[in-house]
Amino acid sequence: MGRGDDLSDRYPDERGWVNARIRQIRALPYKPTPMLELELPTRLRGSRLLVKNESVHPSGSHKHRLAEALYLNALANGWLVHDSPVVEASSGSTAISEAWFSKLLGIKFVAVVPSGTTAEKKKAILELGGEIVEATGATISERAEQEARDRHGHFMDQFTYAERAYDWRGDHGMAGEILHESDPDWFVMGAGTGGTAASLARHARYTGHRVRVCVTDPENSAFFPGWRDNDRTVTATGSRIEGIGRPKVEPSFLFPLVNRMIRVPDPVSIATMRVAKERLGVAPGGSTGTGLYGALKILRELHRRHETGTVVTVLCDSGERYLDTYYSDAWLEQQGIDFRPWVDTVERFFETGHWTPPRSWRKPPTPRGLMWNM
């Protein structure tokens, strides 16, 4: 055997660097996030509506958990090396959380965000030391991959790795907290990567819980038709509800783990978000409205069947990130999102348990006429 046959010690200095960063992450304090409860009308007595408040994480959303998981995954896999940047494709929340971890770990961070991402989100990324590259919505992943190649960095790729980076077996995570605290009948949430829904569904199976998973999808997302037709090649024009709904079916969105999908019109998401702000005393973002609408629909159905149940949804991030968009009447008008008539519908439901869609409501035409049963 000649000298050239032994190629050991390619990265002699990296282990110390990696170990130190993993130690830093593992030393972070772990504190379960609060579970809020929305009061239901007496008509629905016996049912519960719980909202996991993920906006309290240091980087402001449930993506704090994803960023931690993605960094641990990338470090343990040997994908991150000293002095090379991390690049991510994100509509904002994941980028903010990854920028937070990058700052903690002393790693340069580049966020590729869709043009149109709110100024508040971009500001948060910049304040955490991140760099921003804007690209058109459907191409952010390709652009991020390219940026990572050009900069000799690592493309974190949340849309591929979210479902496998989360530790779905352990109790340390949103799934463990929710299932052990409340043992719900339904978990309802929108999908961006689909990683949160997948990890909760897996943890439920692993720990023997009964919970079923409902994904609420905004207008113009590929997830709903993809799941309905069991077709991963479906494309769509792209969602207006930041963080959820995608122009294509992302790899982390796993069909067999989703029990039900509900398509939610954007005005209904916004109205539900606005009502939730008053009733929770905390302003949520738009994706929380989408999930909460699905939770209300399931509660109505339970009542109709003379059943009761516990439904959990997630307050993904704070409304402060959307003051110029979902909380701006002028912006909503510009977008043609006529949410006002639905505010009364949602309000009345919380007061009386009765659901009366606005008189002006016309079901949008949908293929097969499915699922606009409001």
Least Å distance, CB 222 to ligand PLP, is 13
Is residue 196 a contact residue for ligand PLP (CB under 6 A)? yes
Least Å distance, CB 288 to ligand PLP, is 7
**Residue closer to ligand PLP, measured from CB, 94 or 310:** 94
Is residue 243 a contact residue for ligand PLP (CB under 6 A)? yes
259 token code pair: 């029990």
Dihedral sign (CA 189, 220, 96, 19): positive
Is residue 59 a contact residue for ligand PLP (CB under 6 A)? no
Least Å distance, CB 290 to ligand PLP, is 8
Is residue 287 a contact residue for ligand PLP (CB under 6 A)? yes
305 token code pair: 């069947």
- Which region among 86-94, 111-119, 323-331, 363-371 touches ligand PLP (by CB under 6 A)? 86-94
Least Å distance, CB 363 to ligand PLP, is 26
- Which region among 204-212, 237-245, 323-331, 356-364 touches ligand PLP (by CB under 6 A)? 237-245
Is residue 285 a contact residue for ligand PLP (CB under 6 A)? yes
Size of the site for ligand PLP (CB under 6 A): 20
| 302: Cα separation from own chain's centroid | 26
**Residue closer to ligand PLP, measured from CB, 147 or 317:** 317
Alpha carbon distance 279, 338 (integer Å): 21
Is residue 192 a contact residue for ligand PLP (CB under 6 A)? yes
CB-based burial of residue 136 (10 Å sphere; 0-12 exposed, 13-18 middle, 19+ buried)? exposed
Least Å distance, CB 193 to ligand PLP, is 3
Residues 96, 156: contact at Cβ < 8 Å?
no
Is residue 245 a contact residue for ligand PLP (CB under 6 A)? no
Residues 309-368, interacting with ligand PLP (CB under 6 A): 316-317
- Which region among 146-154, 184-192, 220-228, 325-333 touches ligand PLP (by CB under 6 A)? 184-192
Alpha carbon distance 148, 110 (integer Å): 9
Closest CA to 122 of 322, 354, 256, 339: 322
Return contacts of 200-204, CB within 8 angstroms, 24+ apart: 200/174, 200/175, 201/254, 201/257, 201/258, 202/168, 202/169, 202/175, 202/257, 203/168, 203/169, 203/173, 203/175, 203/176, 203/179, 204/175, 204/179
Is residue 53 a contact residue for ligand PLP (CB under 6 A)? no
2 token code pair: 């000649």
Binding site for ligand PLP (CB under 6 A): 61, 63, 91, 93-94, 162, 190-196, 242-244, 285, 287, 316-317
